[in-house]
Amino acid sequence: MIPLKEQKKQLRQLALARRDALPVTWRIEVSLDMARAAERIDFDPGTAVSGFWPMRSEADLRPLMDALRQKGARLCLPAILDKTTIVFRELVRGAELVEMGYGTTGPGEEAAVLDPAIMLIPLSAFDARGHRIGYGAGYYDRAIERLHGRGLKPRLIGVAFECQQVPLVPEEPHDVVLDEILTESGLRGFEDGA
């Protein structure tokens, strides 16, 4: 039997290879279309929403994040503090962005740290049950666990392309299950026990 971590690694590599093979122009067009999902993400003005700056071949959430800002969201981006911890720093127009590691940028140390009520989460692969495979470092799993430990239950929306769906993500006790997924097909929830 292949160990779970190795199974996840193999699924991650295959899903990311499929994503990397998508034409750049198509990814840009689809990312613009994904901004329409803002209509289906309800929240009160001032609600903290975490997004992420695109790296490698990820969907570009900047148009969606701008649409959410126009609806009154306080946007934040992940900031890597050390090898195990991320926090979410407020993204304010005009503020300087600094290198965050992994080829992405975000707000600097002077930015307010927010507890997102809605989280747009990057991923490598997902299944029809809402289980996800991240990039292997566990940053989001630990950040969500910390929020849960403080009694907060953010709405978890994974962001991917349809080609990143796999038949079944192997489960580990620390894995966090998504509430919804946003792809080029739109925003949808998951079937219980699918």
| Binding-site sequence positions for substrate | 58
Longest dimension (CA), the chain: 52
Amino acid at 72: G
Binding-site residues, in ranges, read 8-12, 58, 132-140
Q: What does residue 183 show for φ and ψ, rounded to 5 degrees?
A: -130, -175
Helix, strand, coil % in the chain, rounded to nearest 5: 30, 25, 45
How distant, in Å, are the alpha carbons of 6, 34, 98 from that of 178? 22, 18, 29
Binding-site residues for ATP, in ranges, read 8-12, 132-140
Q: How many residues does the chain have?
A: 194
**Residue in 79, 120, 115 with CA at minimum distance from that of residue 97:** 79
**Residue in 116, 114, 124, 107 with CA at minimum distance from that of residue 158:** 124
Distance, in Å, from the CA atom of 120 to the CA atom of 88, rounded to the nearest integer, reads 12
